[in-house]
């Protein structure tokens, strides 16, 4: 089992993980963009091996190990038809002896989503598509029964892998950020900004930053209107993750709540996956001025929030670039 920041902090805790990427991910100041506040980038897109990168891989390091811990051989998870998470789960699960079943629902279709669906179809996952969340919920018991093996149900994972186990990936990342502050690579951020598609990344950051003793406030830029993703629900996931750590032998205080983060949908657009003019402008500017490739569903909207002078963000800001496809 690889050494992690969590293992160093809690050496006697039962916290299995597998290594799917190499950290720390690089940080740099964004100087070429006309941003209203000093902004640094942590490029999580570089995290991962040849299969897939980004925040999904951080979560899978803990989820894959937990599946083996529970003696499960099948992952069952859900998302939109262009899900980044589902593709990452299928690719990395296959590499670690796990088959993946995907229950997918419709989302607005553009070239990015079409590319994703082609990758998903080629991933080896068992894919089932439905026109609505309601239809998927009705089908879920059938899928769980169909893909059971030797009396064991598939290991169910919510959208984005945002279970308490998956959220450990961003508790770990927050401790990595704290180490980069300690070594002088990064100033202590007043605000950490990330896109919110299912809540796990934001919840893990909230818990991990408090464990590390940093005062940084988290802004979650909500890009998904199909899930409850307000400060109350995200902080509840962070508390559930703290309870998981305690149940595994880690001494974790609960010293945070909904008032410790912001979750804002100002930059969402019409619905999940729908492009916005602000997101597209941010995406183009990032590529032309910083050589930074963002995608339109999550990361471009997060940069649009940082670019918005009316957001009133306190600096320095640390923006997480969380998307990391591999060709």
For residues 191-219, give the mean pLDDT. Answer: 96
Confidence grade of residue 1 (pLDDT, cut at 50, 70, 90): low
Banded model confidence at residue 225, pLDDT cuts 50, 70, 90: very high
Whether the CB-CB separation of 318 and 216 falls below 8 Å is answered with: yes
Q: How much is the pLDDT for 246? A: 97
List, in order of start, the domains of the chain with CATH numbers.
5-55+162-325 (3.40.50.1100), 73-160 (3.40.50.1100)
Taking all residues of the chain, what is their mean pLDDT, rounded to a whole number?
Answer: 94
CA dist., res. 144 & res. 256, Å (int): 36
Question: pLDDT digit string (tens) for 175-192?
Answer: 999 999 999 999 999 999
Per-residue pLDDT at 2: 63
Average pLDDT over residues 156-184: 97
pLDDT digits (tens, 9 = 90+) for 40-68: 999 999 998 777 788 999 999 999 999 99
pTM over 0.75: yes
**Predicted confidence (pLDDT) at residue 325 exceeds the cutoff of 80:** no
For the chain, how long is the longest CA-to-CA vector? 58
**Mean pLDDT, range 277-302, rounded to an integer:** 95
> By the 8 A CB rule, do 163 and 203 touch?
no
pLDDT (tens digit, 9 = 90+) per residue, 84-136?
899 999 999 999 999 999 999 998 888 888 999 999 999 999 999 999 999 99
Three-class secondary structure assignment of the chain: CCCCHHHHHCCCCCCCCCCCCCCCCCEEECCCCCCCCCEEEEEHHHCECCCEEEHHHHHHHHHHHHHHHCCCCEEEEEEECCCHHHHHHHHHHHHCCCEEEEEEECCCCCHHHHHHHHHHHCCCCEEEEECCHHHHHHHHHHHHHHCCECCECCEEECHHHCCHHHHHHHHHHHHHHHHHHHCCCCCCCCEEEEEECCCHHHHHHHHHHHHHCCCCEEEEEECCCCCCCCHHHHHHHHHHHHHHHHHCCCCCCCCCCHHHEEEECCCCCCCCCCCCHHHHHHHHHHHHHHCCCCCCCCHHHHHHHHHCHHHCCCCCEEEEECEEECC
pLDDT computed for residue 107 by the predictor:
87
321: nearest Cα among 54, 59, 84 = 54
Share of the chain above pLDDT 90, in %: 87
Task: Return the number of other C-beta atoms located less than 10 Å from residue 279's C-beta.
Answer: 28
d(CA 218, CA 225): 19
């Amino acid at each position: 089992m690889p050494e992690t920041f969590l293992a160093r902090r809690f050496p006697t805790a039962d916290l299995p993980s597998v290594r799917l990427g190499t950290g720390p991910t690089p940080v740099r100041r964004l100087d070429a963009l006309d941003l209203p506040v000093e902004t640094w980038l942590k490029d999580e897109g570089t995290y991962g091996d040849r299969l897939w990168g980004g925040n999904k891989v951080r979560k899978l390091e803990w989820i894959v190990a937990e599946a083996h811990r529970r003696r499960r051989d099948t992952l069952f998870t859900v998302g939109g038809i262009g899900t980044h998470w589902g593709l990452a789960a299928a690719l990395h699960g296959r590499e670690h002896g796990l088959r993946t079943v995907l229950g997918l629902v419709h989302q607005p279709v553009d070239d990015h989503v079409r590319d994703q669906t082609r990758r998903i179809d080629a991933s080896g996952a068992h894919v089932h598509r439905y026109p609505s969340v309601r239809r998927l919920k009705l089908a879920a018991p059938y899928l769980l029964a169909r893909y059971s093996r030797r009396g064991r149900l598939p290991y169910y994972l919510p959208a984005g892998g945002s279970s308490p186990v998956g959220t450990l990936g961003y508790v770990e990342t927050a401790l990595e950020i704290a180490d980069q502050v300690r070594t002088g690579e990064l100033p202590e951020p007043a605000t950490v900004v990330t896109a919110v598609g299912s809540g796990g990344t934001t919840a893990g950051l909230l818990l991990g930053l408090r464990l590390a003793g940093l005062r940084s406030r988290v802004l979650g830029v909500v890009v998904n209107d199909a899930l409850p993703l307000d400060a109350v629900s995200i902080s509840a996931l962070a508390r559930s993750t703290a309870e998981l750590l305690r149940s595994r032998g880690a001494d974790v205080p609960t010293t945070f709540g909904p008032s410790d983060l912001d979750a804002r949908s100002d930059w969402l657009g019409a619905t999940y996956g729908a492009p916005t003019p602000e997101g597209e402008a941010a995406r183009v500017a990032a590529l032309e001025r910083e050589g930074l490739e963002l995608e339109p569903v999550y990361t471009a909207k997060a940069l649009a929030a940082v670019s918005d002078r009316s957001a009133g963000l306190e600096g320095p800001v640390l923006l997480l670039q969380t998307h990391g496809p591999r060709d």
